[in-house]
Every structure is written in C-alpha cells, then in structure tokens.
Structure 1
C-alpha cells in the first residue's frame, strides 16, 4: 500500500511540475512571438528542469505501481492511483496558487478516507493466473484501445473527451492487469508472452489517447473517463479471474472504500490537467 500511495504522490506531483513548465514556455513563446504549434511547445518544455523532474517522477511512480501490483489486489492499487488527483489538487494549491473550494477540500478528505478503508480491508494479491486466453484478451483490448483514437477523434465536444478519456483509462487498466499476468522476466519468456505486448501496446495507446483527449474538449470529462476506465474494469478482472480477495468479513468495507475513493477522485477531475492560470485584471484606464 505504501508503494501504491508513493505512485500516487509521484504522478500527482509530476502533473503540477509539468504544468509549471508548460506555462513557463507558453509565456516565453507568447512574449517572443514564437510559433510552431504543440510540437514546438513540447520541445521547449523538455528543456525546463521542472518538466524533466516531472518525467523522472512519472518513471519512479511507474516502478512503485509495478511493485504494488505484485503484492496488492488490483482494486486497491487502482483506487490509490486515482487518488493522484487529490495530490495534484493539494500541490497545485501550494505551487500554482490555485484556490480549492470547500467542496474540493472535502473531496480530498473523502479520497483519504476511502483509501484508509481500502487499506484496512484489502487482502493480499490473488494467486490465480486466470484463463489461458486472458493475456490474448488483454492484447486484443489494447489493440481496440489504439483503434478507438481515430474513431473518438471524429466526435466533438464532451463526447470526444469522454470517449478518448475512457479509452485511455482502459489502456491504463490493461497495464494494471498484464503486470499481474507476467510470470517470468527471462528474455526468452518475455518474447513469447502476449502479456508483455499487451502491456506495451496498452500503455502506448493510453498515452496517445490521453494526449488527444486533453488537446481539445473538456479536461474534466476526459479525466473522469480515465478514472472510471482504469479502476472499475481492472478491479472486476482481479476479483473474478485473478483471485483478489479482502480480509475475512471486510468485503463490505473494501467495496465502500473503493466507491468513496473513486467518487472523491471524480470530484477532483478538473485537476487531471494543468489548471489555467488566473488572469490578472487589467488596470483601470487613467481619467
């Protein structure tokens, strides 16, 4: 559980650092009249130490995520990762001077309460490997997520953001499940294991859809779709096929904690991307 929470802290803090870097290069580009679109903006952002630090935290968070998935039920790790939005909200309030409403502070507390209930109720990871076809199903799901990009990109507004966000969430969910399906790290075994290809394809497709979803459309809608996609489906796979269970007599507490943590994360969905800076009002003209 400490690894799962560590991953959430890394991912949540990385979002704010990358937001600060993107804002800095946007301001510099505007002052200098620079152009070149999103690609040029990304190249300028990579030169910022905050952006590089954010990438480093993303990598560290992924290591923590893998460690957590190898010893905790998927439902507990998924809810903990969704709580990274609470971390982003708190860090953004500190570094980006974003004001959180009372409702949002309450949502942060709700996420923490849900995770506490999950921590008390979670058992160890299941020891079952699931049906033999499960790795191939995950590979097919990853391919479907990749194909969802062009289809969802034709939509407009909230529909586009929701479809692409859900697709990104399903891709991240494939990563969560396939980490549990990989039994051997020997190169000869990895080359013939469909789970490793599902992991790579699912993770790559998820990042592509996430980028596309956040370029245009509602950030809140896209992030809500991601939270739903990466928590509910993988949790069901873990319980039904991989043997994830709770402590004796605490199933109700795990279900309640999962629902509370995800609900709190959805309430903080606007922090799924860098919050826009608050515009400074222009001075009044002199009489």
Structure 2
C-alpha cells in the first residue's frame, strides 16, 4: 500500500513538472516560429499542425518534460497495480496543483481567489480519499474488457482528432479531456494486462491490453501536447485530470473489485466527486479571462503569461 502511494505521488510530481516544461516549450516554439515568419503552423480553424507539434516536441525543455512524463508513467503503472484505481488516479490528479503553483514562477500565470479555492478543494478531496481507501481488487481475464479498452482507445483517439481540428483554437479542453481518457484507459490496461507477474513475454504480447498501453500512452501524450499548444496549461491539465480519474475509478470499483474502508464509503464517494468538481472548476477558470487582464492595454507575451 505504501509503495503504491509513493508511486502515485511520484507520478503526480513527474506529470505536474513535465506539463509546465512542455507548455513552456510549446509556446516558445510557437513564438520563435512567428518571429521567423514561418507559415503553416496552424490549420484554418486555429489548431496546431503535426509539423508545429513535432517542432515543439524537439525542444530541450520539452524533452526534459517528456523524461519526467516517463517517470510519471512508471509511477502510474506501479500505483495502478498496488492500490485502488480511484485512489491512484485521484492522487495523480494533484499534479494539477504542482502545475498551477510551478506555472506561477515558470510561465508567469496569475492565480486568483477562485483558482485557489478550486485547487484547495482538490487537496481536501485527496485527503478524504486517502483516509477512505481500502484494498485494491485484482485484474480481469475477461477478453471483452481486454479488447474493449483497446477498441475504445483507438476510437477515442480517432474521434478526438476530428473534434479538436473542428474546434481549432477553442479545443484545448477537448484535447486535454481526450488525453486524460486515454491515460485512464492506460491505467485500466496496466491493471488487467497478463504476462507481467511472472513475466511471460509471449502472453504479454498477445494481450490486447498490452497494446492499449502503447497506443493510449502515445495518443494521450500527443493530445496533451496539442492541448498545451492551444490553451492555458491549468485548463488543459485540469481537463486531463477529469478524464484520467473518472472512468478508471468507476471501472475499478464496479469491475475490478476496488474497495473503500468499511463504513467510509460515503467519504470515498464525497472525495472522488469533490476532486472532479475542483478539477472542472480549474479547467473552466483557466480558460476564462480575468477582468484585470482584459483591461490591460499592453499586449502580453504569450510565454510570460502562459496563454491565460
């Protein structure tokens, strides 16, 4: 249990710091392209092209952020195997707090009272979940679930591409939400994949859940990058948090046997929904202009204010 909690906290920090570095790199890359007078960085609707996303990925800050994402992925995988999914995924949702606080210093983001209230609600929710969580359930040999997460991941990635391209510059939350849902599918796949303990490579490669880990991981990484290019790092990360928390938490309880402490089911439910509500609030507030920002006559540097 303690190892699982530590792994989830490690994932939380890795994902949070990585998101800020990636947002910084994405905006620096876009600003540099504009200064060079390069065209073709955006589609007609304002969505970033594949070329612009690749350019952002190849910057030094983005590479460091990606390494931290790998650290987060390892922590995510370990925690998903050792503690209930509703707890592991919600602890990782605290990367929203890491992102918000670090964004103040790296991206120059200004947080207001409504932002802090939403962030504090996530902290309280995590404390409630930590106190109410019981034992994790097991995996599942049901081929319907193994194939289901793979098919769902492929469909989600395909549909999200169409939606984000249609929404264009307004698609940050949609891209972040889709990325989070793919990471949620990854967490479910990690829990149910066969051939891990003990290690059996042929069994592992034959399991659709193993392919889900690869596909959902790459797809989620790409969509998260797109979300960071399109909008506020806090809004994109909060949308991701909602996606990666809700579905795994529900599947873990209903299908995989995750439980809370006897008599504390109400606290687990309260904490779960409070965390989601707080993340949604941060996502909404992160994409709303602040009154004093609107009244500024000087045009802000998009890197300095993180696109807020």
TM-score bracket, shorter-length normalisation? 0.7 to 0.9
Change (3 A) 1:162 1:270: closer
Task: Render the CA deviation track for 1:233-280: whole Å, top value 9, x for unaligned.
Answer: 21111111111001121111111111112222222226989x9xx888
Match of 1:124 in 2: 135
Equivalent residue for 1:22, pick from 18, 22, 26? 26
TM-aligned CA deviation for residue 61 of structure 1? 0.6
Seen in structure 2, the aligned counterparts of structure 1 residues 224 and 64 have a Cα distance that, compared at 3 Å, is closer
Bigger CA drift: 243-252 or 167-176? 167-176
Q: Secondary structure at 1:242's aligned position in 2?
A: coil
Aligned to 1:73: 84
- Structure 1 stretch 147-156 or stretch 129-138: which is displaced more? 147-156
| 1:103/1:252 CA distance change after superposition, 3 Å | same
> Mean Cα displacement is larger for which, 257-266 or 55-64?
257-266
SS at match of 2:184: helix
User: C-alpha deviations, 1:13-46, integer Å up to 9, x for none?
Assistant: 1111122223333444444434562556556545
Query: Could you report, residue by residue, the CA deviation over 1:199-222 in whole angstroms, capped at 9, with x for unpaired residues?
Result: 222233334444555665898876
Alignment gaps of 5+ in structure 2: 42-48, 300-308
3-state SS in 1 of match to 2:82? coil
Distance (whole Å) between structure 2 residues aligned to residue 244 and residue 228 of structure 1 = 19
Measured in 2, the distance between the counterparts of 1:28 and 1:87 equals: 27
Structure 2: distance between partners of 1:88 and 1:104: 12
| CA pair 39-94 structure 1, distance change in 2 beyond 3 A | same
In structure 1, the gaps of 5 or more residues are 283-287
Alignment correspondent of 2:70:
59
Q: Relative to 1, partners in 2 of residues 1:213 and 1:55: Cα closer, same or farther, differing over 3 Å?
A: closer
- The separation in 2 between residues aligned to 1:239 and 1:15, in whole angstroms, is 29
**TM-score, normalised by the number of residues in structure 2:** 0.77
1:102 to 113, 119, 133: 113
- CA distance change for structure 1 residues 280 and 52 in 2, over 3 Å: closer, same or farther? farther
Q: Which residue of 2 aligns with 1:194?
A: 208
Aligned to 2:100, which of 47, 65, 89?
A: 89
Hey, what's the Cα distance between the residues in 2 that align with 1:229 and 1:46? 23
Partner of 2:149: 138
Identify the match of residue 256 of structure 2 among 242, 249, 266: 242
**What is the CA distance between 1:189 and its match in structure 2?**
1.2
**Superposed, which structure 2 residues align to 1:16-55 within 5 Å?**
16-35=20-39, 37=41, 41-42=52-53, 45-46=56-57, 48-55=59-66
Structure 2 residue 266 is the aligned partner of structure 1 residue 252: yes
2:16 pairs with one of 12, 16, 19 = 12
> How far 1:76 moved relative to its partner?
1.0
Q: CA RMSD in A?
A: 3.3
- How many angstroms apart in 1 are the aligned matches of 2:124 and 2:203? 41
